[in-house]
Amino acid sequence: MIRNWNTAVRRTVGRLGGARRTDRRTAPVTYTLITMCCLLFLVSPAAGLNPAYGTGEELLAAQRAYFRRWGVVPAELFEDSPGSALTPATALFVHGSWVHLLGNMLFLYVFGAMTEERMGRLQFALFYLGCGYLALLGYAGANAHSQQSLVGASGAISAVLGAFLFLFPRARVTSLLPFLFFLPLRFPAWIVLPFWVWLQWTAAGRAGDGPGVAYLAHLVGFGLGFAFAWVRFGPTTRVKGVPVAAPEGENQP
């Protein structure tokens, strides 16, 4: 499936008017971000692989301390502390579990390369970090009294999804739907991604205070990404009518 997607990406770039081929050399920011997130997770207590962090309650305490140090704690973010102001940036590279990491990296791998190819390396890097920072900041502002640590690249990756929807609305996205026994079905991005947004909106309305998924950060990030692509590229620069196979799992960023 991944091989088919890479082939489709190369065809798309060729049709857009150039001899360049979309591979790791033309999307270095995307693959660097994936590598950094994976490496940092493996050496962190969240992975549970480093015996130096101990086991049982000792490991749980190390994980809580790790998330609190590098994640966003809304109640502390707006204090007069320079270190707290940096946490929305550091939290983008911290993940809470294997499922959290793999789900986010899958979405970044699928949607990041084409978006980076369209934006350019430097612009994509600044876009990813800036939108990710603002998405976590927006969540913290709406939950200013929360003591729960917030970690993960979800806000930034949601921004990538928003930009992808604007730039490639007709790209074909392969989705696995649980109510259809996980049959792989292909739909245009303009159907799949708005449906994903609706799921986030619905889940955000049901989410309570405390541990869980920061659906609001997903919505803020997606909106920022779509708005940025609309302002930066304009409605006449979107790629239309190019079928692109892009696998999508059920894990949400």
pLDDT in tens, 104-161: 998 899 899 999 999 999 999 999 999 999 999 999 988 888 888 899 999 999 999 9
pLDDT for the residue numbered 122: 96
What whole-number distance in Å separates Cα of residue 150 and Cα of residue 70? Answer: 9
Return the pLDDT at 13.
Answer: 36
Would you state the pLDDT for residue 195?
64
Tens place of pLDDT per residue across the chain (253 aa): 333 334 333 343 333 333 334 455 689 999 999 999 999 999 999 999 988 898 899 999 999 999 999 999 998 887 767 778 899 999 999 999 999 999 899 889 989 999 999 999 999 999 999 999 999 999 998 888 888 889 999 999 999 999 998 998 877 665 544 433 333 445 556 566 766 666 666 755 555 444 446 778 888 999 999 999 999 988 655 554 444 443 333 333 4
Residue 51: how many other CB atoms lie within 10 Å: 8
Question: Taken in order 12, 18, 21, 26, is the CA torsion positive or negative?
Answer: negative
Strand order from edge to edge, sheet including 172-177: 183-188, 172-177, 246-247
Cα separation, 177 vs 231, whole angstroms: 33
Decide the pairing of beta strands 246-247 and 172-177. Answer: parallel
Query: Which residues make Cβ contacts (< 8 Å) with residue 82, sequence separation at least 6?
Result: none
Task: Give residue 78's pLDDT.
Answer: 78
Distance CA 59, CA 161 (A): 34
Amino acid 204: pLDDT: 55
97-104 contacts at long range (C-beta below 8 A, 24 or more positions apart): 97/46, 98/47, 99/251, 100/152, 101/37, 101/38, 101/41, 102/251, 103/249, 103/251, 103/252, 103/253, 104/37, 104/152, 104/153, 104/154, 104/157, 104/251, 104/253
pTM reported for the whole predicted model: 0.76
**Structure confidence at residue 236 (pLDDT):** 55
The torsion angles phi and psi of 44, rounded to 5 degrees, stand at -90, 165
User: For residue 34, what pLDDT is reported?
Assistant: 97
The type of residue at 66 is Y
| Chain centre to alpha carbon of residue 171 | 18
The rounded distance, in Å, linking the Cα atoms of 195 and 102 is 21
Using alpha carbons, select from 234, 42, 227 the residue that is nearest to residue 130: 227
CA 126 to chain centroid, in Å, comes to 14
Q: How far apart are CA 134 and CA 136, in angstroms?
A: 5
First to last CA, the chain: 20
The pLDDT assigned to 7 comes to: 39
172-186 burial, b at 16+ Cβ within 10 Å, e below that, comes to: bbbbeeeeeeeeeee
